Structure 1
Amino acid sequence: MKPLSPEAFQRIQDWLYSSAGILLSAQKQSLVVSRLWRRLEALGLADFDAYLAYVFGPQGAGERAEMLDRLTTNETYFFREPGHFALLKNRILPSLHGRTPRVWCAAASTGEEPYSLAMLLSDQLGTSWQLAASDICGRALEKARSGLYRMERLNLMPEDYLKRFCRRGTGSYEGMLLIDPTLRGRVRFVQHNLLDRWPEADDFDVIFLRNVLIYFDQPTRQRVLDHLCSVLRPGGWLIIGHCESLAGLSLPLQQQAPSVYRRVSEPNSERMSA
């Protein structure tokens, strides 16, 4: 196979940015090759130039979706950044004073984060909660909907949650766990591009958008967060990743702690900027 040419890589960079707002650095060329070369083999194409000619040709819509799925990163695990779950339990839920919370996990990936949220919400509130989970990657959402995972990296999951909300695999499923079907059915998975507005007339109490903003440039961060703030109720909470920042953005948010923000009560009265 011919190497990925600079021109082909630039074309992939431009397309990924325009389609998903993701900045692909020059250091990611080997990642692109590792994730796409099997598609060239499957399609019988000799090189990346031929592949891109097919992808961006009249018959390439399905392959464009496949390429997007393969190039988006889906690194996650149960109860990642556990301080946020403690905050949800000890501060955010009590602040709702018994109102049924509406939560959006805006980067659901393969489902570990929304199911972690669902376990906590079920433990604390029974059935009085609503949870939407979205991702741009269709293949990741298929994995999430299945609720089937390998028994790895579960050290942050409370032991009683593992017993109450998961089923251990046996036989050919040895080493796997399945999220309890009742809990799984409570999570509403939606394929959604964060560059677009949320398609429904929701008013969320809490939005988790963790470890996603690092892939965007500043204009794209502003665009994405404007969309999120438009469906975050006044007083609602936005949780981002610990390594992320909203510095330099103009938003109707007040910082409560590192990576934790609340929307101001009057959207036009105060906007955070730096």
Structure 2
Amino acid sequence: MGLTIWEVVPFVALFGVLFTLVVLLQKVRNAPAPQVAEGDRAESRDVGETGSGVEERSAGTVRRRRGGLARMRRAVGTEEGGEVEESVVSGAAGRKKSKKEANREARREAREARLAAVEERRERESRMEEARREEDEREMEEMREREEEERKEQEERDKKEKEEYEAWKDMFKLEEEGEDGGMEEEDEEMLEKFCGRLREGRIVVLEEVGMEFGMGTEEVVDRVVKLEEMGRINGVFDDRGKYVCVSEEEMKQMALFIEKRGRISIEELAIETSRLLELDSVT
């Protein structure tokens, strides 16, 4: 630790005083002794003794001053050493305090990091829960929409089937004999009878069916097409005026055959249908 100017001034002043005393003492020693009478020698001796005493006193003063200076220097050194020691202690305490503060700051940052991680996890879980809830609501809404759509489609199918059935009944009319020539609508029994004729025959001649039900061939074709649209029967027409009635499973096999073969003719389709029905011998 450096000395301030106010601490240096006393030493400079003391050094100046000592230097002045030394110079004066040196001048006294080098001064020539005056010639005096023998009578005065005793006085001179007395004076010499007195001067010796003064010199001794001056030397003692110098020694005392030097001793004081040494003590002052030691005191200053002690003070400086104390200040240095105090500075060292203060520095150690400061470093210890800084280390404690650093540890405290590190613990605070770690705690804040943990809290931030917990908060982030909570927010992430909350977002995931919200996303799941929205997904569930969306699925429920889609399910309700599908059910509503299926209900409407079923109602539409029922309505269409009813309309087609009514139209079908209007198309099946038999003429009454007599002058009045009245027309009577056939019921479900007539419809089932017609469908049963096609299913039982499997391969039927359309002209023969028309003769049985009092209709022309073209009219029979129209009735068969209507029944297919209603889903009551399934089958194919061939180019020989015949109709091949097949089941749902047989229709799937035929669809697979067409898919494998690609584009085929009606004759090829009829042959494959006959094969499926195990009626290859029927012409």
Q: Quickly name the TM-score band, shorter chain normalised.
A: under 0.3
- Of structures 1 and 2, the larger Rg is shown by 2
Structure with the higher fraction of residues in strand conformation: 1
Structure with the higher fraction of residues in helix conformation: 2
Q: Which has the higher relative contact order, 1 or 2, with Cα contacts under 8 A spaced 6 or more apart? A: 1
